[in-house]
Amino acid sequence: MFGSTQLNRRNHSVQKLVSILFGVVTCLLVVPVLTIMTVLVYKGGPNISFEFLFSAPTNGMTAGGIFPALLGTIWLVVVALIFSVPLGVATAVYLSEYASDTWLTRLINLAIINLAGVPSIVHALFGLGAFVIFAGFGTSILAASLTLGIMTLPVVIVATRESLQAVPPEFRMACWGMGATRWQTIRKVVLPNAMSGILTGVILEVSRTAGETAPIMFTGAAFFLPFLPQGILDQTMAMSLHLFVVSTQVPGVPETLPYSVALVLVSMVLIMNAASIVLRAYVRGQKKW
């Protein structure tokens, strides 16, 4: 009764072949990541020390540490977050909780998607025109962070909107039925339950912001500075640009130095991503419904 025909056997072997083929392709994908990490750790790892992380570059950037760049990247990320998180969350709350489906909201959604697709070098030129020149911030942390903030806004908006929409509509109905206003409902029920998703989005934004080079090149990141930034209107060094500079622009850099800079930068991003994964796992464990 369950004997197999020739067709059965052929289907079976095709299915086996496909599964093996796709498996191999998937494994191949891991190769570049592993190679990058191995090379970085092998070549850049030995050079990394407390000294390297916390001292300034010396000798025309061919020796010394990376502290100004490390600090500068933190500055840029923090100021970008201060700008983009409230704006992005507010936009997402409006789109998800208040706005009805009209041509205007569809246009806004389209704009957000397009904003995500604009190349970073275009954002850089926009930032140069809008913040550095027109707004008069000069090349500064403020101008660079605003540029980064605008560039990563879609990440925050999309992540927030998705986590808001994951909150079951029944909760809103129940809350409205009690005579709560929309805002009371959002504050008491919707936002607290969307917080995990919003945080995940923010962390993803951080890792993206930290790695960007083009948008900050014209707007606030410096080739080399002999001092640390004192405020948001100063220029700063940044990890991503520093990596570019020591790899291509400065003669006489020891071969291992760019690898070390790259390793620190990648580690920053990976730590952020890992934090986001842990956070998500933790929050899933806390699931409230």
Partner 1 sequence: MVDPSIEILVQDLTVRYDNDIALRVDNLEIRKNEIFGIIGPAGSGKTSFLNAINRMDEFNDSMNVQGSINFGGLEVSRVKNVYALRKKIGVVFPLPVGLPLSIYENVALSPRLSGIKDKIKLDEIVERCLIRAALWEEVKDRLQQLGSLLSGGQQQRLTIARALSQEPKLLLLDEFSIAVDPVTTMRIEDVLKELKEEMTVVLVTNLVQQVRRLSERTAFFLNGELVEVGETEDFFTGTVEDQRTRDYVEGHFG
CA pair distance 71, 239, nearest whole angstrom? 9
Q: Positive or negative CA dihedral for 124, 128, 134, 135? A: positive
Helix, strand or coil for residue 38?
helix
* Residues 160-189 contacting partner 1, CB under 8 A: 170-181, 184, 188-189
On the CB side of 115, how many CA atoms lie within 13 Å of its CA? 20
- d(CA 128, CA 214) in angstroms, rounded, equals 11
Show the binding pattern over residues 47-66: x = contacts partner 1 (CB under 8 A), - = does not: --------------------
- The angle subtended at Cα 76 by Cα 238 and Cα 89, nearest 5°, is 145
Minimum CB distance to partner 1, residue 161 (Å)? 18
CA-nearest of 74, 40, 39, 34 to 54 is 74
What binding mask, one character per residue, do residues 79-118 give for partner 1 by CB under 8 A, x or -?
---------------------xx-----------------
Binding characters for partner 1, 190-229, by CB under 8 A (x = yes): --xx------------------------------------
Rule CB under 8 A: say whether 284 interacts with partner 1: no
Residue 101 or 255 with smaller CB distance to partner 1: 101
> How many other CB atoms sit within 10 Å of the CB of residue 125?
15
**Does the footprint of partner 1 cover residue 288 (CB under 8 A)?**
yes
Question: Which residues here bind partner 1, judged by CB under 8 A?
Answer: 100-101, 170-181, 184, 188-189, 192-193, 288-289
